[in-house]
Amino acid sequence: MLSALNAKINPFTIPMTMNKETLNNETKIKARVLDRLLDHLDNNKDVQNIDLMILAKFCRNCLSKWMVAEAEELNVQLSLDEAKKTIYKMDFKEWKDKYQKEATQEQLDAFNGLKK
């Protein structure tokens, strides 16, 4: 996953001051930020995916799908279930059974309002 960031960088658009070490550090920083985001989401399981979708227009499932898409770009085999296990830090079904709540009508209305 880390090399995905480097693979998408066009060398002709890199400022002359950007060297391999700078790119490597940037990649490491971005990976650490993602790890912190996943830890934050894991520590706040009460934040429901529908709430994330309403507020940020992405959720844990989106992150999983983005992982799969980036893996495909790199010709790396990664199933959606494997990606979800990385994002949720457990089997998705287990997370859903333990932490996912039924969406309220207010949440559904807000979510459906995004589609208009």
pTM of the predicted model as reported, rounded to 2 decimal places = 0.78
**What domains are there in the chain, each with its CATH number?**
2-8+18-114 (1.10.3340.10)
Q: Is 70 exceeded by the pLDDT of residue 11?
A: no
Q: Which residues contact 89 (CB under 8 A, 6 or more apart)?
A: 38, 42
Does the CA dihedral 74-40-56-24 come out positive or negative?
negative
Residues whose CB is less than 8 angstroms from the CB of residue 78 and which lie 6 or more positions away in sequence, other chains included: 67, 68, 71, 72
Q: Whole-angstrom Cα distance, residue 53 to residue 63?
A: 12
Confidence band (pLDDT; 50, 70, 90) for 13?
low
Q: What is the mean pLDDT of the chain?
A: 88
- In contact, 41 and 47? CB cutoff 8 Å: yes
Per-residue pLDDT tens over the stretch 76-100: 999 999 999 999 999 999 999 999 9
Q: Which residue has the tokens 């893996």?
A: 71
